[in-house]
Amino acid sequence: MSEFEDKVVIITGAGGGLGKAHALEFAKRGAKVVVNDLGGSGDGRGASDMADAVVDEIRAAGGVAIANKASVSDRAGAKSIVDDAVAEFGTVDILVNNAGILRDKSFKNMDLDDWDLLVDVHLNGSAYVTHAAWPIMYEKNYGRIVLTSSTSGIYGNFGQANYGAAKMGMLGLVNVLAIEGASKNVRVNALAPGAETRLIGTIPGRDVNPDDPRPEAHPRLVTPAVLLMCSEDAPTGKVIQALSGRYSTSAIFNNEEIALGVDASYEDLLARKDQLLDMSTAQEGSSMSRLMAKQRGQD
């Protein structure tokens, strides 16, 4: 038996691309899947029955799935996704926040409505659905949550200030929820994927056929990382990158602080600038957290 047998899995934005690949694989492994997708275009306009098509495909293969067509950026719509899962299957075990859109422009040319919309869909949408599922997972001492971030947030990418800010914001949410969920066996991680999808096709200059992605750039190659983050022995608070069958972990590193004391001045810091910026001996995590841990050990 698969460890995902009879698990109730919500996947947002699962009408195509990465979300569809995740949904098909979870269903193949015996999970009961809620396929959410508004069915809009890659830039968030319109609606369609994309979710129904994926549900039909899952059912045709002998799997179990239902569709939800709400927008994650609407609070009531986001809650309806979780409500539908509970009404149909009784609970929620796994949530994969995948829904997203793109509206790329350089920051100086960006309409602030496009800023607000991207943040609403990616960051707020992930928070809204997670907020609805959180009490269920918290009470039953089990939950696995994935937020789909991006290297555009971690490292930056020209023309994606709105997208990158929302995606990096997800890492802050993951860091906090991983701490808050630890005692309740709710594990929360972030995915930074790469694949040829409909969204990638909206980027100027990118020649992508989402209906026939190149084998080395297929969305299904990202899904193993999602399964790992949703497994019984899943990590928590991690950022896993997945692209073309290659997988790695990203992390925040911090060097040792320079102690200048209460009389510190700009000139003092300027004199130690090279030391301040030297990351050659940096360690994962915050130096402040390490110091506090050391102090606790001395108490």
Q: Are 187 and 261 within one domain?
A: no
Q: Domain tally for the chain?
A: 2
In a domain, 220, yes or no: yes
User: Among 147-156, 187-196, 205-214, 233-242, which stretch is predicted with the lowest mean pLDDT?
Assistant: 205-214
Question: Angle at Cα 32 formed by Cα 26 and Cα 34, nearest 5°?
Answer: 90
User: Among 38-52, 122-136, 140-154, 224-238, which stretch is predicted with the lowest mean pLDDT?
Assistant: 38-52
In a domain, 60, yes or no: yes
Q: Are 137 and 111 within one domain?
A: yes
In a domain, 3, yes or no: no
The answer to whether the CB of 164 falls within 8 A of the CB of 136 is: no
At 209 the pLDDT is 63
Q: Are 128 and 270 within one domain?
A: no
Q: Are 195 and 275 within one domain?
A: no
Q: Are 166 and 275 within one domain?
A: no
Q: Are 78 and 157 within one domain?
A: yes
Q: Are 242 and 288 within one domain?
A: no
Predicted confidence band of residue 199 (pLDDT cuts 50, 70, 90): low
CB atoms within 10 A of CB 132: 22
Handedness of CA 263, 265, 268, 274 (dihedral sign): positive
Range(s) of the domain holding residue 286: 253-298
In a domain, 1, yes or no: no
Q: Are 154 and 274 within one domain?
A: no
Q: What is the pLDDT of residues 71-100, one digit of tens each?
A: 999 999 999 999 999 999 999 999 999 999
CATH at 152: 3.40.50.720
In a domain, 103, yes or no: yes
Q: Are 41 and 82 within one domain?
A: yes
The answer to whether the CB of 174 falls within 8 A of the CB of 237 is: yes
Q: Are 191 and 264 within one domain?
A: no
**283-284 and 253-254 as β-strands: parallel, antiparallel, unpaired?**
antiparallel
Predicted confidence band of residue 299 (pLDDT cuts 50, 70, 90): very low
Q: Are 19 and 102 within one domain?
A: yes
Is the model's pLDDT at 36 over the cut of 50? yes
Q: Are 113 and 129 within one domain?
A: yes
Q: What is the pLDDT of residues 252-288, one digit of tens each?
A: 999 999 999 999 999 999 999 999 999 999 999 876 6
- Smallest CA-to-CA distance from 229 within 89, 95, 98 is with 95
Active-site residue, 163 included: yes
- Kindly name the residue from 128, 142, 155, 163 that is annotated as catalytic: 163
Residues forming a β-bridge with 10: 34, 95
